[in-house]
Amino acid sequence: MDFGTIFWLHQRIGNAIPLYMFILGVLSFFNYARGRGVDGGIIGAVIIGELLIIAQATLGIIMLTMLGGLEQRAIHILYGCLAVIFLPGLWVYTRGEMDRRASLIWGVAGIFMMGLTLRAIGTAGIN
């Protein structure tokens, strides 16, 4: 793949992730409001979201090796690293709980991840 294709994919996946995380958060809040715990749909959505983030990070690493400029993109890379470890870290923190409280935690996490990924987009340095 050429750089242009990788860049295009990196941008498109990067634009999809905040919307996806917002939907994940809203669905988790709905479960919480209905008195339900985390269900298989939420777990599946978390896994798909993490795979999207890993794909995004992989494309970013490929672009970084092709282009260089680590110093100019340090904050963007920091946000990317946090995005990669946040969802698995939250799973460890909640110890895989599936109760109503976990629905609230995953709802907040989805909204937080939306904000984190929007901030990462803002620090990308693309004109």
Which pLDDT score is estimated for 124?
87
Mention every residue, 6+ apart, whose C-beta is less than 8 A from residue 115. Answer: none
Mention every residue, 6+ apart, whose C-beta is less than 8 A from residue 92. Answer: none
Q: How far apart are CA 72 and CA 10, in angstroms?
A: 18
Which pLDDT score is estimated for 67?
86
Helix axis angle for 3-33 and 100-122, nearest 10°, is 150
Residue pLDDT, tens place only, 113-126:
999 999 999 998 76
Structure tokens at 87: 């969802």
**What are the extents of the domains in the chain?**
3-122
Which pLDDT score is estimated for 126?
67
Structure tokens at 16: 């999809």
Mean predicted confidence (pLDDT) in 36-45: 94
The whole-chain average pLDDT of the chain stands at: 93
Residue pLDDT, tens place only, 93-105:
999 899 999 999 9
Write the DSSP string, 58-78.
HHHHHHHHHH--TGGGHHHHH
Q: How far apart are CA 107 and CA 84, in angstroms?
A: 18
